[in-house]
Structure 1
Amino acid sequence: MPRSLSTAAGVLPHRLPARDHHREKPAQVGVHSYEALARRAIGDQSAPFKMLEVARTWGDHFVVERDKIILRKALSSYVAAHAAGPWDVPKPVSVNVSVRSLLNDSYVDTLRETIAELHLDAGSVTLEIAERDAIEPWDGEQWRGAPHTYFHNRLAGIVRDVGVVFAVDDFGAGYASVSRVAELPLTQIKVDRGILHHRLALQELDLVVALARDPVERGETPTPRVVIVEGVDDESPITLRQIHKRGIRHVQGYVTGERGAPELRRLTTETCKDIAARVRGDDENRPAGLTHRDRPGDGVPLRRSA
C-alpha cells in the first residue's frame, strides 16, 4: 500500500509582539511537519477506509498487524522522501495508530526497532490516536484503575521506553473527547474539520487552546501542546485570521494549491505570500483556503496541506 507523504501543518506567522500582528510576513510561513496517509495508489486522495476497517472485523490481532505494516511503510517512505527532499534535517512526521495497537507489546517492539533501523529521531515521530477507538478494556480484560488512567500510564511508558510523542486525532469527532485530551500525555491536539462548521466554532477553538495550555498552567510541562486545525478550505466559515487570533499557529487543509504527491517540497514564495495575507486579514471576506474547485478542469485533487 503506497503512502502519501503530505504536508500536515504549516507554521502560520507567530512569535510576534501583539503590536506587530498586522505585519505577518511570508518568511514566517512554512512547512511544520508531514503526515503519512494510506492510499491504494499515489494519485488517490482518499484513504481506502473499507479495506483498512476489515482488520477490525477480523479481530485484535489483525488490527495490530495492520498498524505495524502501516508504521513500517510510513516511516521508511518518509526517510526515502527526506533523502530526496529539500530539508537538511527531517521534519516531524506523524502516523495514525489504533488504541489496541498501543496496548500491544509487539507493536511497541516494531515501533522501537523501525525507528532504530531507519536512524530516526524518536522525538520527531508522532503517533496520532485514532478517534474511532474507545479507550476501554475488551471483554475478559482487567485493567488496573480507570480506563484513561490505565491508558495514560501505558502511553507514558512508551514515551520513556521509545521516545515518541502522541497526538489526539480529529478532536471533536468519535471518541476524541475533552476527557481524552485532558487525561492523556499529548504533545498535539488535532481539531476535526467539523468544528469549523459549528455555530460556536470560535468558542470551541478557544476551549481547545485552553486545553492545550492547561498542563503549563498546572506546572506539568514547560510548553503547551501544539494545536492543529484540520480541514481548512473554501467551505470553512472560519478564516485564517480568526484561527491565528486564537493563538493557533498550525493548520491542515487545501491551502497550498499543490497536487498530492509523495515528494517533500518547500512552499512556493507565492503560496507563503498568500497565506501571510490571509492571516493578516487583507481581505476578511476571503475564504480560508483552497479546494480542488480552484483548479477547474485539472482533474487532480489538491494536497491537504498548510
Structure 2
Amino acid sequence: MIGLWLVVAMELAAFVAGLTIYLLIRRGHLTLGVLAGQAALMAIIIIMGLLLDVPTAEAPRISHVYLLVVAALGYLNYQREKSYTQLILIGLCLLAFVILGSARLTSPYVVMPEVARTIGTWANAFMATALLAACIHAMQTEFTRKDKYSRDLMAALWNDEFQLVYQPQVDVSQRTIGAEALLRWNSPQRGSVSPVEFIAQAERLGLMIAIGGWVLERGCRTLAEWGTNPDFRHLSLSINVSASQIMHQDFEAFVRDTLAETGANPQHLILELTESVLVTEIELVIAKLNALREMGITIALDDFGTGYSSLSYLRRLPIQQIKIDRSFVQDAVNSPSSASLVKSVVRMSRDLGHNVLAEGVETMEQHDLLAQFGSIQFQGYLYGKPMALADFAQRIDVETQGSA
C-alpha cells in the first residue's frame, strides 16, 4: 500500500512541477522553465528508481533509462542556448543513470505488488526506449537542419541573395545626415532573414570575411553614387565590421583597394566596430585602426556600454564616434539613474573629442531628453526603419524639396 500511495504522491508532485514550469514559460522565462523541467524530471526519476523501481530477482530496475532521455533533451536545449547550468544537469543525469544502473539500491520501506512491478518493468522499458529513439531522431533532424542551413548560407553569397537596407541617421532637427547599412538575407526558402539569425553561424563557418567584404564593397558603391549627386554628397554611410574582418591580415589593403575601385569618398565612410574587438590583440587593433584613419575613414564604437570598453580604451583607440546602445536610450526616460549615466557618457565622449550618436530612439520624449544632454546625432524607428535604397533616396528628395 505504501508503494501505491507513493505513486499517487509522485503524480501529484509531477503535476505541480508541470504547472510551475508552464507558468514560468508563459511569463517569458523559457530558459528557466526548460531547466526547471529537466531538474524536476530528473528528481522524479531518481525517486522512482530508489523507492518504487527497486530491482528484484524477477524484475530489474528500468526507470533509470529515462535519465538518458532527459540528458538527450538537455543536449538539444544546449544547442539552442549554451549554458553551464545545462551542462551540469546533463552530467548529473548521466551520473545518476550510471549509479542506478550499477548499484542494487533498494528501499526496505516501500513494497510494490509483484504484478505491478512486472507490468511496470515492461511498460517503462518500451516507453523509455521509444522516447530515447525519438530524441535521437530529433538530434538527427537538428543536425541535418544545421547542415542544410550552413549549405544555404554558403550558397547565398554566390547566388546574390544578400541585400543592404538603410536606416536613416539624423541631426537634432531630424534632418537626415546619413544612414547605417544593414545586411539582410533574402533566402528563397526562408524569406527575409535577420542578421541576428545567421551572423553567428556565418562566423563559425568562416564566411564573415567574405560577407563583410561584400557589404563594404556594395556600401562603397552606394557612397560613390551619392557623391555624384549634389543633394546626396553630404551623407555619410556607416558599415559594420566584424572582429574577424579587422584581424584579417589584408583588411586595410582590401579597404584601400575598395575605395579606389569604387571612387567612394573615405571622408563620408564610417566603419562601426563592436566592443568585442577589444578582447583581441589591442595593440594590433590600434595599429589597424590608425591605418584606416590615415585613409580618412571615421571609426565608430558601436553598442557602447554593453561590453568591454573602458576609459583607457577610449583614450587609446583612434575612434571619432560613440554609439550609445539602445538599452540605455530606452531606459533613460523612465529611470533617473539611466538618464544620469547617458548624460555622463555624452559628456565624457565629447570631452574626449568624440561625436555621439544615440541608437534605438523611438519617441520624441527620448529625442528631447537626449538633445538636452548634448547628443547631436540620432538613429531609431522614430526617424525611420531600415529601408531599401530607393526608398531612402526618395526620403532625401522629399527633404531637399521641402527645404527649397
TM range (shorter): 0.5 to 0.7
Q: How big is the alpha-carbon RMSD for the aligned residues of Structure 1 and Structure 2?
A: 3.0
Pairing 1:101–2:245 present? yes
Pairing 1:72–2:206 present? no
Bigger relative contact order (CA 8 A; separation at least 6): 1
Residue 52 to residue 84, structure 1, CA distance change in 2 (3 Å) = farther
SS of 2:279's partner is: coil
Match of 1:5 among 166, 181, 186: 166
d(CA) in 2 for partners of 1:267, 1:201 = 37
Residue 164 to residue 251, structure 1, CA distance change in 2 (3 Å) = same
> Could you list the per-position Cα deviations for residues 149-197 of structure 1 after superposition, in whole angstroms to 9, with x for gaps in the alignment?
442233112222x221200001112345554434311111001110121
Deviation at 1:129, TM superposition (A): 0.3
d(CA) in 1 for partners of 2:342, 2:384 = 25
Deviation at 1:46, TM superposition (A): 7.0
Residue 78 to residue 154, structure 1, CA distance change in 2 (3 Å) = closer
Q: Which residue of 1 aligns with 2:355?
A: 226
Match of 2:318 among 185, 200, 203: 185
**Count of residue pairs the alignment pairs up:** 230
Residue 58 to residue 175, structure 1, CA distance change in 2 (3 Å) = farther
Larger Rg: 2
Are the aligned partners of 2:177 and 2:234 in contact in 1 as well (CA < 8 Å)? no
Q: Which residue of 1 aligns with 2:202?
A: 55
Are the aligned partners of 1:64 and 1:100 in contact in 2 as well (CA < 8 Å)? yes
Partner amino acid, structure 2, of 1:3: L
Deviation at 1:66, TM superposition (A): 2.5
Q: Which residue of 2 aligns with 1:252?
A: 379
Are the aligned partners of 2:165 and 2:386 in contact in 1 as well (CA < 8 Å)? no
d(CA) in 1 for partners of 2:375, 2:170 = 11
Structure 2 runs not aligned, ≥5 long: 1-161
Q: Which residue of 2 aligns with 1:130?
A: 274
Q: Which residue of 2 aligns with 1:35?
A: 180
Are the aligned partners of 1:95 and 1:127 in contact in 2 as well (CA < 8 Å)? yes
Q: Which residue of 1 aligns with 2:290?
A: 156
SS of 2:347's partner is: helix
Residues 200-215 of structure 1: pairs in structure 2 closer than 5 A? 200-215=337-352
Are the aligned partners of 2:232 and 2:396 in contact in 1 as well (CA < 8 Å)? no
Residue 84 to residue 155, structure 1, CA distance change in 2 (3 Å) = closer
SS of 1:120's partner is: coil
d(CA) in 1 for partners of 2:194, 2:312 = 28
Deviation at 1:268, TM superposition (A): 5.5
Q: Normalising by structure 2, report the TM-score.
A: 0.51
Partner amino acid, structure 1, of 2:172: L
Residue 257 to residue 209, structure 1, CA distance change in 2 (3 Å) = closer
Deviation at 1:136, TM superposition (A): 1.8
Pairing 1:240–2:367 present? yes
Partner amino acid, structure 2, of 1:53: A
Residue 79 to residue 39, structure 1, CA distance change in 2 (3 Å) = farther
> Could you list the per-position Cα deviations for residues 43-83 of structure 1 after superposition, in whole angstroms to 9, with x for gaps in the alignment?
x9873323222232134xx3322321221122224444x37
Deviation at 1:212, TM superposition (A): 1.8
Residue 50 to residue 87, structure 1, CA distance change in 2 (3 Å) = same
Q: Which residue of 2 aligns with 1:304?
A: none
Deviation at 1:244, TM superposition (A): 0.9
d(CA) in 2 for partners of 1:192, 1:126 = 17
> Could you list the per-position Cα deviations for residues 194-252 of structure 1 after superposition, in whole angstroms to 9, with x for gaps in the alignment?
0121632221222222222233xxxxxxxx32101000114x9x532211111111111
Moved more, 249-258 or 164-173: 249-258
Are the aligned partners of 1:93 and 1:125 in contact in 2 as well (CA < 8 Å)? yes
d(CA) in 1 for partners of 2:385, 2:166 = 13
d(CA) in 2 for partners of 1:95, 1:12 = 22
Partner amino acid, structure 2, of 1:58: L
Are the aligned partners of 2:358 and 2:378 in contact in 1 as well (CA < 8 Å)? yes
Aligned-residue sequence identity (percent) comes to 23
Q: Normalising by structure 1, report the TM-score.
A: 0.65
Are the aligned partners of 2:166 and 2:386 in contact in 1 as well (CA < 8 Å)? no
Partner amino acid, structure 2, of 1:76: R
Deviation at 1:97, TM superposition (A): 0.4
Q: Which residue of 2 aligns with 1:285?
A: none
Are the aligned partners of 2:227 and 2:264 in contact in 1 as well (CA < 8 Å)? no
